Amino acid sequence: MSEEDRGLLQSKLILVGQYSAIADSQFGPATYRALTNFQAVRGDQPSGVLSSTALIDLHERASFMFAEMGMEIVEDARGQMSMLLPTALLSQTENTRRGMAYFDPSNSIRLETISKPYADESYESLYRSLSTENARRQITYKTFNASRFVVTGYRQGFPFYIYMSAAPQSSIGFSIEWDSQYDEVGGMLAVFMASHSYPLLATSQSPEAVQTPQGFTPTVPRVSYGTGFFVAENGVLVSNHHVIENCSAIDVPGYGAASVILSDADLDLAVLRLDDPHSHAVATLRTRDIELGEAVVSVGYPLATYLNSSLSVGTGIVSGETGLRGEQRWFTTNVGIQYGNSGGPLLDEYGQVIGVAVAKSDELYLLSSIGTVAPNVGFAIKTGPLLDFLSIFRLPDTKPSKEAIPVRASVEIARDFTVQIVCSTHAN
């Protein structure tokens, strides 16, 4: 890879929370750990070499985070620094003695730019004073060289990160501090900004002048998530049509790329097949209809951005024999259906699939139209329409259990045939 591409790869790994060092284009143990950690998150073999599918996934996840944060190039004249700033998060500003402060409306995460002339304090002296512990400040990490230094720790119990660079006439950099609600974001943001912040006086001449990293597309999220489950051998799986609609590439983490072989927008069902079939478990589809009040277990990958693509489980009952506006092919459940659950299986007390998660109630519509909401109202496609849709496929002849099993046992069964689906789009 070129030096530029190596730096970009490290920047993407920072944005997905896997790389905690400044992007310097130098590959070493920290980069290798970040790569293998990202592969582990995806369910891939941790080799340190990303497949083309994994590279696409990394790009899409990083671009999504870049867009969510509202990253924009900001030239801070008071702080004498040019930087990529998360303007959607740090939307408030105020002047400080040495630069500018950028913070969220609750002031729970705060970044301050710093420009300190050498006439006031030398670069080396500033490092010594900022890296010395006292009653208010505990230091957890520090590193220093002739061009920059980093100090991290806790100030009155709150995490902080300080990055300073040695400019011709001043020490220039920033400090960022956050409370517990930003624990996952604060450290990532600090390292990303340290990788893409430079003294303003360098930006007119220096090849290191800050710019939007090539390959990021901050205007539109370029990835979406759903759930699916295997229904036949040779990598055949089911999901919703709306999960795979308009996808330019589909990835099943842990299994690789997949292609759509059958889809129906009216039913909102789709059949996919792995491009490179792996061995896998297969779901048992129940043939008899649902029963009002029977127990339901949902399994899927909701809210992937926030839950780190973890398998999640919900329990409830069949609360209605039809779906939205009396849709006969659906049933209603009080299991919470969230974004990312779509296409996932709902199981009965025997571990059989009795439905495909498809939608949740539109709470904003309900609030505006009738003045209330309906929490934990979700909808699923019944297995009758699903079996009709799958009639052209050779489904395995499986014998369902005749005895009810614990929820944990159902989840362990479903874990082996339930997968996440990552849909990549390339629209600008």
Q: What tokens were used for 49?
A: 């070499």
Domains in the chain (CATH in brackets) are 3-202 (3.40.1000.10), 223-424 (2.40.10.120)
* Mean pLDDT over each residue of the chain, to the nearest integer: 86
The pair phi, psi for residue 270, each rounded to 5°, is -145, 145
Q: Does residue 280 or residue 60 have the better pLDDT?
A: 280
Helices (H), 95-209: 123-130, 183-195
Distance CA 376, CA 386 (A): 24
pLDDT at 360: 58
Three-state DSSP at 32 gives: helix
Say whether pLDDT at 314 is over 70: yes
Alpha helices in 313-382 (DSSP H): 363-370
Report the alpha-carbon distance of residue 97 to residue 78 in Å, rounded.
Answer: 9
Q: Which two tokens stand for residue 112?
A: 């301050």
**Is the backbone of residue 231 left (phi > 0), alpha (psi -120 to 50) or beta?**
alpha
| More reliable by pLDDT, 328 or 396 | 328
- Summarize the confidence of residues 257-285 as an average pLDDT: 93
The pLDDT value given to residue 372: 37
| Of residues 391, 378, 404, the one with CA closest to residue 300 | 378
Confidence of residue 225 (pLDDT cuts 50, 70, 90): confident
- pTM flag (> 0.95): no
C-alpha dihedral (362, 325, 376, 105), degrees to nearest 10: 10
Contact 271, 236 (CB under 8 A): yes
Kindly state the average pLDDT of the residues 218-222: 42
Residue 170 bridge partners (DSSP): 117
Q: Are 24 and 34 within 8 A, CB to CB?
A: no
User: Residue 209 has what pLDDT?
Assistant: 46
Q: Are 123 and 165 in contact (CB under 8 A)?
A: no
32-77 per-position pLDDT tens digit: 999 999 999 999 999 999 988 888 888 888 888 888 888 888 989 9
- The span from the CA of 349 to the CA of 31, in Å, is 45
Residue range 330-373, pLDDT digits in tens: 999 988 777 788 899 999 999 999 999 987 544 333 333 334 33
Q: Which residues contact 225 (CB under 8 A, 6 or more apart)?
A: 301, 304, 305, 309, 339, 340, 420, 421, 422, 423
CA distances in angstroms from 188 to 221, 223, 351, listed in the order given? 19, 20, 40
